[in-house]
Structure 1
């Protein structure tokens, strides 16, 4: 849900910060599988960023029905960066951790390479037998240096373009997804169409939500982004990253953006208000749009292929901390949630694209009435097949955050791009130490 996920990511990025509430009060060190006091009942705590769609799709209720002794309680944090910071604090202290913790794909290298001792090696419960259910790259990313299985993959983030058919029609632009895909087959074509939209834009609507989302989806089309295959930090000299930066700056200077920081309250409100006509959308964004735009948005949205080719933005994992109170029960839950049948249900109801190869086959013909009957199974399925296998680095998400922060300065404060780039470099240096 992811970077991610992806991150982030999916139907409704809502909830209290992960430190809040009695849900996470359970500290580590309790005996494995210990039952709650009342009659052998077990309460499994799940801590996520955003919404992975489990509650919305009825999967928790279904699991509790299958396991009458189990109650599932979930907390989530709207912003993944806030979630990760809180998780790091609790991992360092060993307390306040849930039985299940989510990890965005941009953080999984950090877990696998630096924090394997903080999470349960799921091989202890037979996770080895699940390897064949997942895409090879998805499985490998959550494998520690010693072969530890540190998480099970939930989804991946194949990319497309979501758009408001009613706003495009009012601006005199085509609304057919096939025609649009041809018109914006390149990012230059996308920006040119945006300039046409701006000339006749209805109300105060902009062409896209933010240049940060444009950058994020473009960099998701690259195999190497922040690190190379040798684990070296290359973001400053990566020409593909600079192209994504320059395109985002160009969109800002052309006045095509609504200047909204992603995940902010203003950005959330803009979905229902019709403040922008297009938004680059990984599969998990579909559920987010539904949650924010609401029932009144049904039939006004559609999905088309992404400019510039396929890419991936986000995707996540479910892991079990070593300090979890109910390790075995937590494993059984995440094994069930990430099984092909459940991943297929999540995609059908929320849009999160499966990381399970069996689930991908099941959803190939899926359509979504909310998005004007778009063949989302085909669109995102083709994108998933064509997307590059990305090189994941330990600090991917940290670097990405500094770059999108700098782009926000460009579009919202009018900071000169050269100055913003220098600010990004300083931000990365300070973050990485």
Structure 2
């Protein structure tokens, strides 16, 4: 079996949170994301500028270097803003002024609906680009970046198919199965079964260990497996009346009220320390989360973690590459964006960085199909996440999904965990915060 060097945006993490909590952090330094370069350099090479957030991994995986060797008259210059919460407002400002933009710009999945609806005229239609085939991507991923009249403004880089990461040592101590297939069957097809398994765990849990890291993470995972979320197909906000939102809320709120959560806010120091200290037994795991756990868990947790299928297939995270109409090297930028997101390169990126491909054709490659992860007890992550990816539902994503989800989790579930609010009162607080944010 092939070992992937899956280290992913160790903190690309907040990405997930994007449509799962919303901010994408990376390992890069906080730089100016819009290069002022353009045209050619002193050697006569065409300079293609790439503006990103977090750590997409293209440079780290050697893809830029490979492309430059294949195209010796091209030079690639990348600039990065560490957090999407800083990057995205800057991108909108530059789109509005039509200046300061890179030849290629990254777009986070939590922002793609707003960009498609309000900024599509500022981007090239990549559906007509040479070397780009809609058939290479999942339909739902392609459609996320496509306008109602068929203009595709971004090519998918990665996705976040869901699994559950679990501590084998804690499961064994609590008398639960530890083998991944048996573990997956405990909650197959139903998030409530996952919660019921947690109740059994808590009856014999090791001292100081909770079932799950947080109500917020559980909610993010549960809602990611639903086709409907916060908007309907007509673009109306429906989160208050959507039964899928209520179901995800109820599961997360029950975990909080039953004291089954470790009460952490995602992507904070306390969460990181808890991961290192092993104070929770399970964690909702999109593919990119593996690198984060490995980084924060350290050597002392190696081999104690494993990966099992999630109760339902869902998607948490993912990004796109778009080419602004103002690009100084538009044709070359289109070629590079198409090459970086082609199945072959997506497979290489997964093997080197752990970013799970949005191009299903890459799942047939050895880099993906045979991938295992040594840190997670040699779990066959290529097989697990490929299967999960194929079951991801087509989701309606609205322009303010990120805002709605952040307020549900932070103003509702986190406060329920920390302040002892009832589920009803916490939902009241969450909806009040959402409505205030949407009115701003």
Q: Is the 8 A contact 1:112 1:145 kept in 2?
A: no
Partner of 2:5: none
Partner of 2:260: 256
Partner of 1:142: 145
Asked if 1:417 corresponds to 2:417, the answer is: no
Offset of residue 257 of structure 1: 1.5
Q: Trace 1:108-119 onto structure 2 (pairs within 5 A).
A: 108-119=112-123
Offset of residue 96 of structure 1: 4.5
Asked if 1:430 corresponds to 2:436, the answer is: yes
Partner of 1:338: 341
Partner of 1:288: 292
Q: Is the 8 A contact 1:8 1:50 kept in 2?
A: no
Partner of 2:239: 235
Asked if 1:275 corresponds to 2:279, the answer is: yes
Which of 21, 35, 39 is matched with 1:26 structurally?
35
Comparing 226-235 with 86-95, greater Cα deviation is found at 86-95
Q: Is the 8 A contact 2:108 2:318 kept in 1?
A: yes
Q: Deviations over 1:329-372 (max 9, x none)?
A: 43333212211111112223433322113112223343222221
Which of 366, 371, 374 is matched with 1:369 structurally?
374
Comparing 112-121 with 48-57, greater Cα deviation is found at 48-57
Asked if 1:305 corresponds to 2:326, the answer is: no
Q: Is the 8 A contact 2:231 2:239 kept in 1?
A: yes
Q: Deviations over 1:241-295 (max 9, x none)?
A: 1111111111111112222211223323433332322111112222332333345
What is the SS of the residue equivalent to 2:285?
Answer: strand
Which of 184, 187, 190 is matched with 1:184 structurally?
187
CA RMSD of aligned residues (A): 2.9
Offset of residue 146 of structure 1: 3.8
Partner of 1:391: 396
Q: Is the 8 A contact 1:159 1:383 kept in 2?
A: yes
Partner of 1:174: 177
What is the SS of the residue equivalent to 2:231?
Answer: coil
Offset of residue 5 of structure 1: 6.0
Aligned length: 421
Q: Is the 8 A contact 2:25 2:53 kept in 1?
A: no
Q: Deviations over 1:156-201 (max 9, x none)?
A: 2221101122333344432111111122233333223323433444
C-alpha spacing 1:336/1:59, structure 2 compared with 1 (3 Å): same
Partner of 2:164: 161
Q: Is the 8 A contact 2:19 2:405 kept in 1?
A: no
Offset of residue 112 of structure 1: 1.4
Q: Is the 8 A contact 2:216 2:414 kept in 1?
A: yes
Give the Cα–Cα distance (whole angstroms) in 2 for the partners of residues 288 and 56 of structure 1.
16
Q: Deviations over 1:84-134 (max 9, x none)?
A: 34433443344444433222223222111211123233357436x422222
Which ranges in structure 1 are unaligned for 5 or more consecutive residues? none
